[in-house]
Structure 1
């Protein structure tokens, strides 16, 4: 494994193939290699279990080899690996020396409810590298990259990742900042009848726009041919980002370091976006 490799988690879910196809295109564009990884879990050490697990691992290796053969004409160096154990832990381990980890999600759009299971969030929270999560959606008619910006150092990493991806795709980059006014108490706030003063709301919008412009000041120099759009809006960040991402090819968000692995937490905004994936979504540190 090397830092120029993309690890792809392969399962029986339809989104797994979408994840692989996305990773193949990225690897081809950026001259990276692929490692396809499957994990056989569920073993408890029962008598006679080893033979069953061995058969399952052999069958899964055949699946990986078939997928490697399917993408062989793309000119991407590909290896396969089948592990046994906890899928979350094994994929986190596989990300240690990778440039990127790509996994699929069973999410199929707003009518399907939130994505099921916590495995994806736990993998993203614990990974040692950026993670891209693919929903089970056809993204072929999408265009553009959307990135959430909040002025933090982690946000700068998200901007850099998003700009590189938008440049690779030759598509626009939309940088998004969402802001909210100071909460007023329910028991009769400062402005219980008239709401927030217009001057305050205008100033919040202007300050947020200024902060976004400062965060992205060097991008046009680094990517002179990249179309860069800025979007500042009052609202819940996850809702604003997912609405804009509904027509985008990729969303990029930053999250804080790997200290969250002990609790398998990412932060509310990242978790909310992952729960209702509008498009392929990258979480970077």
Structure 2
């Protein structure tokens, strides 16, 4: 079954940029696009005025720009979070504008957008209004964060390498580390550090091991290994200017007020100037 790239629209400049990003990515990957509008039915109200025509206009625009791209549309009723998460379930990825109004109001700061990211079982890509095809030019990298062992960031690494392969781009894999506190030392951890030759060599070794299967699977993708001391969010943002896409893994936490997203993804979503892909665990 071929999964489409699904993009949510609400009429904002951000969502229109998201449509164009989704279309370019679909062409590169040989996938169809599905354009959806999520709305919440209340008091027996009919579909939002002009929604069908807006979707039809989007299809006409995509047909002009990408005549061979298969495009379908959908009006999704019910709660916007549930509707968008459901739409994402059958998609290769869900693409949204990073700010908007209507169904995804206050995307970066509001609860709806964060819940979609936290609950989606598929990658969610956030696109700003100023995004242009020129930002995907040669020389700009796919930047991805890696942490923990080989399995901890596997889904994010897969997404980054697949995207880089489709674009003919290189991947910069960033692993940030901090000095451990006294209480985190143990005889076992000290032995591992001694064998590696110290803290930084240990982190570099961990990154090499995490990358090995992806280097083997994507031998034509250039890879830059970036190991730096500091918080993961700060280190990722320090290289964001050279990125055409930033990829981070998602660590969703649930609390009494609903799903929350990990601090690294939260920082990158707010401050990265390029599109950001938030990838759930495999």
Gap regions ≥5 residues in structure 2: 101-106, 184-193
Is 2:208 the partner of 1:217?
Answer: no
After superposition, the C-alpha distances for 1:171-211 in whole angstroms (9 at most, x for unaligned) are 111000000112489xxxxxxxxxxxxx9xx8221111110
Which residues of 2 match residues 1-285 of structure 1 at below 5 A? 3-41=2-40, 43-45=41-43, 50=44, 53-54=45-46, 56=48, 58-73=49-64, 74=66, 75-106=68-99, 115-139=108-132, 140-142=134-136, 143-152=140-149, 153-183=151-181, 203-256=198-251, 263-284=258-279, 285=281
- The question of whether the paired residues in 2 share the 8 Å contact of 1:127 and 1:258 is answered with no
With the length of structure 1 as denominator, give the TM-score of the two structures: 0.81
Could you tell me how far apart the structure 2 residues matched to 1:150 and 1:179 are? 9
CA RMSD of aligned residues (A): 2.6
1:121–1:271 contact (8 Å) kept in structure 2? no
Which structure would you say has the larger Rg? 1
> Alpha-carbon deviations, 1:222-279, whole Å to 9, x = none?
2222111000001110111122122211111112479789832222211222122331
Cα distance in 1 for partners of 2:210, 2:52 equals 45
Q: Distance in 1 between matches of 2:265 and 2:256?
A: 14
**2: CA distance, partners of 1:223 / 1:15:** 32
Task: Report if the CA contact (8 A) 1:154-1:256 is conserved.
Answer: no
Distance of 1:256 and 1:3 partners within structure 2:
27
Deviation, 1:137, is 2.9
CA contact (8 A) 2:16 2:129 kept: no
Structure 1, 95-104 or 264-273: larger mean CA deviation: 264-273
Q: CA contact under 8 A between 1:126 and 1:260: conserved in structure 2?
A: no
Aligned to 1:191: none
- Give the drift of 1:40: 2.1
State whether residues 249 and 280 of structure 1, in contact with CA within 8 Å, keep that contact through their aligned partners in structure 2.
yes
Q: TM-score, normalised by structure 2?
A: 0.82
